Amino acid sequence: MKKLLFATILAASLGGGLTLAPVASADVVVVRVAPPPPRDEVVPPARNGFVWTPGYWRWNGHRHVWVNGKYVRARHGYYWREPAWAQMDNGRWRMERGRWERGDRDHDGIPNRYDRDRDNDGVPNRVDARPNNPNRY
């Protein structure tokens, strides 16, 4: 009897520590309804160490809802790619959510000699003690 009780308590305590990971939200939204044109926003004065992320139309499952722009803390070596709506070949509209992307100096999406960051660690080569080692952190 004691062994059964002990096994039950042990199983309950081990099972109680299990947690399920939350489901990640989709980075791409596809809808049939075209988004309205972007609104003109008054951008507040710049804040040191922050980047302005402009507003955008978000689909809430039933209609487009405007999300105001805001300042977010800048990330060294990255730039903010705005959310963008694009019409697909089948007439539907696809939205890619805004996100941080590795910064490349010429913003062509290709790490190359014009970026001045050989190892893509976000530190320019001129101040990087080890410019060829992307795994130094």
Read off the pLDDT of residues 30-45 as tens digits, 9 standing for 90 and up.
999 999 999 999 988 9
Task: Kindly state the DSSP code that residue 85 receives in the 8-state scheme.
Answer: E
Domain segments of the chain as ranges:
26-102, 103-137
What is the spatial distance between Cα 14 and Cα 33, in angstroms, rounded to a whole number? 48
User: What is the pTM assigned to this prediction?
Assistant: 0.57
Question: Per-residue pLDDT for 12 more than 80?
Answer: no
Q: Say what the pLDDT of residue 118 is.
A: 64
- Let me know: does 45 contact 63? Beta carbons within 8 Å: no
Q: Which residue has the higher pLDDT, 46 or 54?
A: 54
